[in-house]
Structures are given as C-alpha cells and as structure tokens.
C-alpha cells in the first residue's frame, strides 16, 4: 500500500463513506489520477460520473480518467445551443480515448416549450436558460450517482480560486481532480498524449460553452472572459451548491 492509500485508509476508515472534508485532506496533494482512483474506490465505478463540456481543456481530464478507467460514465449536457465543432470534438475524443460510456443529456422538451418557446431566453434571462438547459438536466442525470468528477481549476479564478479537491455539493461528493494543477500541467498532458485540440481554440475561443453566450477571448483577457460577456454572470449554475 503506497503512502496515499495508507493515508486514505486512515482518514476514511474501512467500509465507511467518508465526509468530503476528510477526503479533501487525504487527497490535498494527490495527482489527478490518484484523485480519480480514490473516487472509484470510495463509491465504485457505477456510482461515479464525470461531467464534461468537451470544451477547450476537457481532453486533459478525460485522458487522465481514461487511463484510470475508460468505462467511468461521462455526462455531456447537449443544451441545444452547443457548437457543431464541440459535438464533433466530443465524438473525436470518444474514439481517441476509448471512452466507453458517454451519455449526451438533452433538456426537457416540456421545459423548453413552457419556458423558452422562442429560443431567446438566453438573452432575456440567461440564468433561467442555464437552469432549464443545464442545471435541471444535470440534476436528473446525476440521480443514480453518489459522486461526480469535474474539470474546474483554481487558476481559472473567480468562484473557482479556492475550490478544494473534494467537496459536498449538497447531494453527493464532488471531486475536483484538477483543482490544484496549472495551465502548464494541462498543456503538458496534451503534448505528452498528443491530444487533439478543440477546433475553435485556434480561432481565439479559449473557453467554449453555448453558442449565444460564447465569444472570442481578446489578448490579455482571462480565459473565461468570453463567457456571458458583458454580464455579471460567470457560472452556469451547475457548480453552485445547495448551501451557497
């Protein structure tokens, strides 16, 4: 048993589902692969999901996950506003990385008909648009799972600057394997594994979400400056816990 596994066993106790704070302490300095492996040990593969936007940095986390276990379920929120380039990139990464269980989740047709019949809710109320196209579909998709993985990093700043490696989202454990890595670390994963880049990256889209709320990032701007440009909004809502 290596040092990480010894610490993990001491912190959590055999047979118990550990608290997020205990896991965060045990995994504070762990590598992304070790964080994912610990998540699998904690809840089991069938109770763990990775949520991915298949955006400009997504291949790095998906690669690390695939090296641990390519059959971990991956949830992709197909909001109806996703760029065609992102959909094609999703399919490329599934094949390149050998991902075995990618689930593309669409918003409820009833919710769209009721709240966004003209498809312009993104303009008048982007928070409501994100809720019906991302937050509510993800909540439904995550119901079978006890924990999930995501790709947020502290270097992205804003609400992400102090995220722990593991937290409690109010319903389940939430693992942030890339919390404490750098942009250089991500670039190294791409280079070492020869991962394909998102096709929109070269055109200046450093962070890619839904079409109406994504724009190019100008020189010197934060990577996420092109998301919801001109608005105070910085998150879609899926990373806001029930306690916040």
Catalytic residues: 236
11's CB contacts (< 8 A; 6+ apart) are 18, 22, 23, 25, 26
- Residue linked to tokens 């791409």: 190
Burial label, 185 (beta-carbon count in 10 A; 0-12, 13-18, 19+):
middle
Q: Shortest CA distance to 52 belongs to which of 22, 87, 8?
A: 87
76 alpha carbon, distance to own chain's centre: 9
- The backbone torsions φ and ψ at residue 221, rounded to the nearest 5 degrees and listed phi first, read -85, 160
């Amino acid at each position: 048993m290596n040092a990480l596994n010894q610490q993990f066993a001491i912190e959590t106790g055999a047979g118990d589902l550990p608290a997020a704070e205990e896991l965060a302490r045990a995994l504070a300095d762990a590598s992304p692969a070790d964080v994912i492996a610990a998540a699998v040990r904690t809840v089991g593969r069938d109770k763990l999901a990775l949520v991915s936007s298949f955006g400009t940095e997504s291949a790095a986390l998906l690669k690390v996950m695939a090296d641990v276990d390519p059959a971990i379920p991956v949830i992709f929120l197909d909001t109806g506003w996703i760029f065609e380039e992102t959909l094609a990139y999703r399919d490329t990464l599934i094949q390149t990385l050998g991902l075995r269980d990618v689930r593309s989740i669409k918003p409820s047709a009833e919710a769209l008909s009721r709240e966004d019949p003209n498809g312009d809710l993104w303009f008048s109320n982007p928070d409501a648009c994100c809720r019906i196209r991302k937050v509510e579909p993800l909540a439904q998709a995550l119901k079978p799972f006890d924990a999930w993985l995501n790709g947020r990093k502290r270097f992205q700043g804003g609400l992400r600057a102090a995220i722990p490696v593991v937290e409690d989202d109010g319903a389940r454990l939430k693992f942030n394997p890339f919390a404490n890595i750098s942009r250089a670390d991500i670039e190294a994963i791409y280079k070492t594994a020869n991962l394909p880049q998102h096709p929109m990256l070269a055109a200046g889209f450093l962070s890619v979400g839904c079409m109406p709320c994504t724009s190019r990032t100008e020189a010197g701007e934060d990577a996420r400056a092109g998301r919801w440009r001109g608005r105070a909004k910085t998150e879609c809502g899926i990373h806001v816990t029930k306690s916040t």
